Homo-oligomer: A and B are copies of this chain.
Amino acid sequence: MKRRDFISGAAGVAAATAAAASFPKPAIAKARHQWIVTTAFGKTGLLGDNIANFAKFINKAAEGRLELKVYAGGELVPPFEAFDAVQNGTAQMGYGAPYYWKGKSEAIQFVSSMPFGLTAQEQNAWLYFGGGNEISNKIYNALGCHFLPLGNTGNQMGGWFRKEIKAAGDLKGLKFRMPGLGGEILGSLGVTVVNTPGGEVLSSLASGAVDGTEWVGPALDLGFGLYKVCQYYYYPGWHEPSSITDAFINLDAWNKLEDDLKDLLDKGAQAYNARLLAQFQANNNIALQKLIKDHSVQLKYFGDELVGVFRKRADELIPEIAGKDPLSKEIYESLIAFRKTMVEWSNYSEAAFMQSRV
């Protein structure tokens, strides 16, 4: 094995010094980038852990050339002000969910997840090899940020309700937390939709200010304690078949990075994007069974009829929303074209296989 020390002993040091002195920019004189990272999530739990672990990996791999210091939502700025903080340079990087920044851009909601859109595996295919990253970055670049997908929850649950939902009529008049395009669809069915930050969800349910909420999936929802205030847990997560958590980086800070550090962030994000999905996938059913057995949660299917109502409203409303501005239109058309080929392929692969093993 050809293993040798780059520099060893006094002779090596002398040689290195001579080399360093004869060039104006020696290899060791690289810039150090110190970044503040602010998140829309709490310090603990799967999402807080994901950004903390990502930062730890990057800090070690970059050997001091790039340092990420992470602040949880509220430590530096409130959770939903993370994007502002990155735009105005208070932080260099933020972490949250694209649809949290809907106030900045209608199109950004489509980056999160599209109701009846793509599964996590399909969404990754779209992001990395289907033009998804490019069109998403058009949206983020217009807001002065660079986008990196840094996590996926996988298929979410349909939501927590205090009462049974048997038909569309049962939704009317409910006050329900649901961000993104799913919320727009519920809104069109007579629901008063609110977008409460995570930290306030439980208290607003307890006080009766809100009647129900979607959150993520069992692996996260169990620790969040939603079973204490809601009994009924609905599937499937038609509104978020796979939700991205986003890293957004101040464009000036991104542009100052050397290419190898950009690549390290990019591939590091891909690793932690995959890890978060794997973690949700591994823990969801274990947590779901605990919710059912230990906390008497009732697992319910929305039913074919109600799912049909959601789908019909999605088919009507989403193209309408997408038609309002050019970036929304572009990302919507990209997603729809990609979904067509994914649905076809899933018939011969995942869906056919899942059927075969039953």
Which of these, B27, B127, B358, contacts A278 with CB under 8 Å? B127
New contact pairs (12) apart from A10-B21, A236-B348, A267-B268, CB-CB < 8 Å: A1-B92, A3-B31, A6-B29, A27-B63, A121-B278, A128-B275, A128-B282, A155-B349, A157-B348, A288-B348, A311-B356, A346-B354
A-B residue pairs, 7 tightest by C-beta: A129-B282, A285-B345, A125-B281, A155-B349, A274-B274, A125-B282, A270-B271
Stoichiometry, as copies per complex, reads 2
19 contacting pairs across A/B (C-beta < 8 A): A4-B32, A7-B28, A16-B28, A57-B267, A61-B263, A61-B267, A124-B277, A124-B281, A125-B281, A129-B278, A235-B349, A268-B271, A270-B271, A285-B341, A285-B342, A285-B344, A288-B345, A311-B357, A343-B357
Given contact pairs A236-B348, A342-B285, A31 touches B6 in the complex (Cβ within 8 A): yes
- A142 on the interface (CB 8 Å rule)? no
Contact B34 A6 (CB under 8 A): no
Chain A 39-57, CB-CB to B under 8 Å as 1, else 0, gives 0000000000000000001
Nearest CB of chain B from residue A86's CB, rounded to whole Å: 12
Contact B121 A154 (CB under 8 A): yes
Q: Restricting to A197-239, which residues have a CB under 8 Å from any CB of B? A: 217, 235-238
Contact A121 B122 (CB under 8 A): no
Contact B274 A270 (CB under 8 A): yes
Given contact pairs A31-B5, A155-B349, A356-B307, A279 touches B20 in the complex (Cβ within 8 A): no
- A256 on the interface (CB 8 Å rule)? yes
- A283 on the interface (CB 8 Å rule)? yes
Contact B125 A278 (CB under 8 A): yes
**In the complex, residue of chain B having the shortest beta-carbon distance to the beta carbon of A345:** B285
**In the complex, residue of chain B having the shortest beta-carbon distance to the beta carbon of A256:** B3
Residues of A in contact with B (beta carbons under 8 Å apart): 1-8, 10, 12-13, 16-17, 20-21, 26-34, 57, 60-61, 63-65, 89, 92, 116-117, 119-122, 124-130, 154-155, 157, 217, 235-238, 241, 252-253, 256, 260, 263-264, 267-268, 270-275, 277-279, 281-286, 288-289, 299, 301, 307, 311, 339, 341-346, 348-354, 356-358
Chain B residues within an 8 Å CB radius of A284: 345, 349
Contact A6 B30 (CB under 8 A): yes
Which of these, B5, B126, B157, B307, contacts A282 with CB under 8 Å? B126
Nearest CB of chain B from residue A277's CB, rounded to whole Å: 7
Chain B residues within an 8 Å CB radius of A267: 57, 61, 267-268, 271-272
